[in-house]
Chain A
Amino acid sequence: MTTTATPARTAAGADAAPARRARMSTRRREGGACAVLMTPFLVLLTIVFLIPVGTAVWLSFFSDDQPGLGFGPESTVFVGLRSYAAVLTDPTFLGGLGLVAVYCLIYIPLMVIAALALALLLDSGVVRLRASAQLALYLPHAVPGIIAAIIWLYLYTPGISPVVDLLAKGDITIDFLGVNTVLPSIVNIALWSNLGYNMVIFYAALQAVPREVIEASVVDGAGWLRTALQIKTPLVRSAVVMVALFTLIWALQLFTEPMLLSQSTPMINSRFTPSMYIYDAAFTRNNYSLAAAASVILLCCTIALSYGVTRFTTRSREEADR
């Protein structure tokens, strides 16, 4: 790159030269600033994202193979899509994907609606002690996921849980960790942890809604419920999309809660979700190519679904605008 002008050229410069030089140096400075500001991001992106993803992709195409029964000398060979074929024909992996799909269908609408409803309530001024309510709702998010799972594990486990004991005294027997209740139990933990956080995002978005729009609706005779549903909600749609997207990405990687609950209930198996499948493939089955292939498939699913959500919402917005 020729970034510095030589003195000789400056001396021989034509009339247009100073202006061009000024323009160029501005661009150079902008470029420099850009590079300085972007470098940390790019370095981090490379270290924590690109290199691991690259390694996973590489691992998924190679394997330490021994022919036949597998007792011979082992050699690293290119195996093409073999690991992918194995993952995609594994009913336990597909079962995990199906489970996460059901989980998303229950969890995402519940989360978005509940968080939005709470934010609208706080914003409408119906609730007193707004700051304390916000704090109380946000607090669970400050509890790390693993601690939250342990707390709920304690509350769910029959024999040690005060909740189960109390219900039993009232002649209500409920097994929070049974065949059909275990998924709702996990949804409950996730809701408890993340509701406050998403509510704060919605609340912040609601603060940005122009007051005159709301005043106009009040003048037109809309009650607070109608204002909330028909005026405020459409105006914070981008926040709704963002929350739905983040929740989706988080939900697809479901791991901590079921992993911990599986200590306490056989209804959560070792390959309950795709992330648990990956963990099991790598550390129980010692099958790193299989784990890598499953990871890449999960990554692709996440990217495709995220893209789908954004595309779907932009298109529906364009239609709404038209």
Chain B
Amino acid sequence: MPGRPSRRTLLAATAAPLAAGALGACSGGSSTTARTGGAVRITFWSALRGSQEVVDAFNRTHDRIQVDFQQIPSGGQGGYAKLSNAARAGNAPDVATIEYPQVPGFAIDGVARDITDLMGAGLRRKLLPQTLALTTFEKRTYSVPLDVEPMVLHYRTDLFEELGLEVPRTWDEFAEAARTVRRKSRQRRLVLFPTDGGMQFAAYAWQAGAQWFDTRDGAWNVSLADAPTRKVAAYWQRMLDEDLVFANGSESNQHKAQIGDGLVLTRLTGAWDAGAQMSAHPGAKGRWRVAPLPQWDTDRPTVGTHGGSTFAVTKDSRQPEAAMEFIEWQVSHPDALKARLSSGASSQYPAAPGLVDVGRKAFPEEYYRGQDIYTLFREQADTIRDGWLWGPRMTATQRVMQDGFAQAGGGAGSILGAVRKAQDGTMPDLKALGLSTTQRSS
């Protein structure tokens, strides 16, 4: 007997009869998301581009369920704090958007409901198994993947031509290209090492074979500074030391200017960034293309992912079935993807492979001069390395790491030091949460 029942179990107990009521489509009761005029109303929070278009399309085609959409700030900008606080106050939305790294944290906190039994086998079959593996723990699923975003290389074709560069296929070639850029043009750099890019760094480590977290033997085993990560850290440290890269925030006006003024030649980000680029820099139409990420070993190409979101039904939802129906439509219906891409700001790569052709047709092709980026994304998505897991407190881990990156970028400390600090700053947190943990520090 592990003590008295908590608020969450009590809530689950009180929510169950309400859910049953919703199934029978009779009196809904005293919920905030009650039906009006015969339709079940559910609330949906998201920071994703094009969400309003998707919700409008859903509401147009559905009579029984109507969705109230609220655009919220992105996770790091306060969106996750908003969700946590709302859940603490007992009024989280029916459907929340959670990025992959934060799924374990919200599942552990009980914000994301266990939806294993709500999810039909049909929906499971439609989704890439690697994406479901990132939202499933101890055989229970906590959220439904919307998209999966392999890391790719976005590059400026005109500047590559001007400086006589080939698209690098390996990290060695990439470093060589960085040296060429540095030699030929004093104020230009090949790429940015983002000091706020804990997630980019994670993707590099993921690609190189790192395993920051695993859950063998029923405990969180943490090893942020494992051998592949040390290799990646040494690589970027050298780029910094040789002054071959910019080192500043990627979500900053400074970086926006670096891109806008043609000072930076490439961006290493997830597939989604192709769409974000179109809306942020419409004037650069026709100058950018997308290529596969450089490899460590071209015989066995792998990539990690950067970005990508999932939808969770929260513990506070009074209409979990309706919420699930909306989620299923969002992640697997062609109209949903078409609506999102029509916003002109998204190049989302769907977690449901059946939608890739829809994406290819719906994506406006002028910006990339007709390049078939969806086929490229599909090839890259196939090489996403299996077995990666995110930790229980990624937002905090990422923050500590980025604090260290910022210092390293300013010449104090190193990238590897930042990674080690992130591990040291994460362990006390996990212990205070009462989780079983082990750690390997090297």
Contact surface of A with B, Cβ cutoff 8 Å: 63-71, 73-77, 79, 82-83, 85-87, 89-93, 178-179, 266-267, 269-271, 280-281, 283-287, 289-290, 293
Cβ–Cβ contact B108 & A76, under 8 A: no
Cβ–Cβ contact B400 & A290, under 8 A: no
**Alpha-carbon separation in the docked complex, A77 to B9 (Å):** 14
User: Which listed residue (B4, B399, B435) contacts A269, Cβ 8 A?
Assistant: B399
B3 at the interface (CB under 8 A from A): yes
Cβ–Cβ contact A266 & B406, under 8 A: yes
| A92-B108 contact, Cβ under 8 Å, with A68-B435, A287-B433 | no
User: Which listed residue (A65, A66, A68, A86) contacts B428, Cβ 8 A?
Assistant: A86
B368 at the interface (CB under 8 A from A): no
**Alpha-carbon separation in the docked complex, A64 to B428 (Å):** 16
B380 at the interface (CB under 8 A from A): no
* Residue among B2, B84, B137 facing the most chain A CB atoms (10 A cut-off): B2
Cβ–Cβ contact A73 & B403, under 8 A: no
Cβ–Cβ contact B399 & A270, under 8 A: yes
Beyond contacts A69-B215, A266-B407, A270-B399: 5 other A-B pairs, Cβ-Cβ < 8 A, are A67-B436, A76-B6, A86-B428, A266-B195, A290-B428
Cβ–Cβ contact B402 & A266, under 8 A: yes
* Residue among B395, B399, B433 facing the most chain A CB atoms (10 A cut-off): B433
Cβ–Cβ contact B8 & A74, under 8 A: yes
User: Which listed residue (B409, B412, B425) contacts A92, Cβ 8 A?
Assistant: B425
CB distance from A291 to the nearest CB of B (A): 9
Cβ–Cβ contact A271 & B425, under 8 A: yes
**Alpha-carbon separation in the docked complex, A117 to B392 (Å):** 53
- Over the window 253-265 of chain B, the binary record of Cβ atoms lying under 8 Å from chain A Cβ atoms (1 yes, 0 no) is 0000000000000
**Alpha-carbon separation in the docked complex, A290 to B435 (Å):** 13
| A73-B432 contact, Cβ under 8 Å, with A90-B425, A179-B411, A271-B400 | no
Enumerate chain A residues within 8 angstroms of B122, measured Cβ to Cβ.
Answer: none
Enumerate chain A residues within 8 angstroms of B142, measured Cβ to Cβ.
Answer: 71
Cβ–Cβ contact B108 & A75, under 8 A: no
Cβ–Cβ contact B2 & A75, under 8 A: yes
Enumerate chain A residues within 8 angstroms of B80, measured Cβ to Cβ.
Answer: 284
CB distance from B80 to the nearest CB of A (A): 8
B226 at the interface (CB under 8 A from A): no
Cβ–Cβ contact A73 & B400, under 8 A: no
CB distance from B202 to the nearest CB of A (A): 18
Enumerate chain B residues within 8 angstroms of A90, measured Cβ to Cβ.
Answer: 424-425, 428-429
| Chain B 390-429 interface residues, beta-carbon cutoff 8 Å to A | 392-393, 395-396, 399-400, 402-403, 406-407, 409-412, 421, 424-425, 427-429
Contact surface of B with A, Cβ cutoff 8 Å: 2-6, 8-9, 80-81, 84-85, 105, 107-110, 137-138, 140, 142, 195-196, 215, 218-220, 249, 392-393, 395-396, 399-400, 402-403, 406-407, 409-412, 421, 424-425, 427-429, 431-436
Cβ–Cβ contact A68 & B219, under 8 A: yes
CB distance from A12 to the nearest CB of B (A): 59
**Alpha-carbon separation in the docked complex, A269 to B195 (Å):** 12
**Alpha-carbon separation in the docked complex, A82 to B431 (Å):** 8
- The chain A residue with its CB closest to the CB of B249 is A266
**Alpha-carbon separation in the docked complex, A85 to B110 (Å):** 25
* Residue among A68, A71, A89, A93 facing the most chain B CB atoms (10 A cut-off): A71
Enumerate chain A residues within 8 angstroms of B403, measured Cβ to Cβ.
Answer: 266, 269-271
Enumerate chain A residues within 8 angstroms of B5, measured Cβ to Cβ.
Answer: 73, 75
| A91-B421 contact, Cβ under 8 Å, with A71-B138, A76-B4 | yes
Enumerate chain A residues within 8 angstroms of B429, measured Cβ to Cβ.
Answer: 86, 90, 281, 285, 287, 290
User: Which listed residue (A73, A266, A293) contacts B6, Cβ 8 A?
Assistant: A73
**Alpha-carbon separation in the docked complex, A287 to B393 (Å):** 10
16 CB contacts below 8 A, A to B, read A63-B433, A64-B6, A69-B436, A71-B137, A73-B5, A74-B110, A75-B4, A75-B6, A76-B6, A82-B432, A91-B424, A92-B425, A267-B406, A267-B407, A284-B399, A285-B393
Enumerate chain B residues within 8 angstroms of A70, measured Cβ to Cβ.
Answer: 108, 220, 392, 433-435
CB distance from B45 to the nearest CB of A (A): 17
Enumerate chain B residues within 8 angstroms of A86, measured Cβ to Cβ.
Answer: 428-429, 431-432
Cβ–Cβ contact A286 & B109, under 8 A: yes
Cβ–Cβ contact A67 & B421, under 8 A: no
CB distance from B327 to the nearest CB of A (A): 20
Enumerate chain B residues within 8 angstroms of A271, measured Cβ to Cβ.
Answer: 400, 403, 425
Cβ–Cβ contact A75 & B3, under 8 A: yes
Q: Ordered nearest first, which 10 A-B pairs have the shortest CB separation?
A: A266-B406, A269-B403, A65-B434, A90-B428, A86-B432, A86-B428, A70-B108, A75-B3, A290-B432, A92-B425
* Residue among A70, A73, A75 facing the most chain B CB atoms (10 A cut-off): A70
Enumerate chain B residues within 8 angstroms of A281, measured Cβ to Cβ.
Answer: 429
Enumerate chain A residues within 8 angstroms of B195, measured Cβ to Cβ.
Answer: 266
Enumerate chain A residues within 8 angstroms of B140, measured Cβ to Cβ.
Answer: 71
**Alpha-carbon separation in the docked complex, A287 to B85 (Å):** 12
Cβ–Cβ contact B402 & A289, under 8 A: no
* Residue among A74, A76, A85, A87 facing the most chain B CB atoms (10 A cut-off): A74
CB distance from B270 to the nearest CB of A (A): 22
User: Which listed residue (A69, A74, A93) contacts B218, Cβ 8 A?
Assistant: A69
CB distance from B350 to the nearest CB of A (A): 27
Cβ–Cβ contact A63 & B434, under 8 A: yes
CB distance from B412 to the nearest CB of A (A): 5
**Alpha-carbon separation in the docked complex, A67 to B437 (Å):** 11
- The chain B residue with its CB closest to the CB of A63 is B434
**Alpha-carbon separation in the docked complex, A79 to B195 (Å):** 37
- The chain A residue with its CB closest to the CB of B76 is A284
Enumerate chain A residues within 8 angstroms of B434, measured Cβ to Cβ.
Answer: 63, 65-67, 70, 77, 79, 82
**Alpha-carbon separation in the docked complex, A87 to B429 (Å):** 8
Cβ–Cβ contact B432 & A287, under 8 A: yes
User: Which listed residue (B85, B138, B425) contacts A69, Cβ 8 A?
Assistant: B138
